[in-house]
Amino acid sequence: MLLAVSKRDNEDDRTLGELFYLMVSEVADITYHESMMIIVEAMLATVQEEFHITDEQIECFYNKFMSKLPESMQRLLQAN
C-alpha cells in the first residue's frame, strides 16, 4: 500500500496539493459567457477594421450572426 501511495504521489499531478488547487482556481475565473463574448468582440473588431464598416453595419452583422447560432448558445450569450 505504501508503494502505491508513493507511486501516485510521483505520477498524479493532483497530489501536488495547493499548487494543483491554485492552478484549477485560475481556470475557473472565466465563464463560458465571458470567453465567448471575448471571441465575438474580437471578431467584430477585426471585421470593422478590415472592411471599414460603420457601427450600424456591425450591429446588423452581429444580429445576423447571433440569429444563426443555436438557440441554446443565443440564450447563454444574451443572458448578460
Q: What is the pLDDT of residues 2-41, one digit of tens each?
A: 676 666 666 666 556 666 666 665 555 677 888 888 999 9
The domain limits of the chain are: 1-27, 31-80
The per-residue pLDDT for 56 is 96
Which residue pairs, CB below 8 angstroms and at least 24 apart, start in 67-70? none
Residue 77: pLDDT band with limits 50, 70, 90: confident
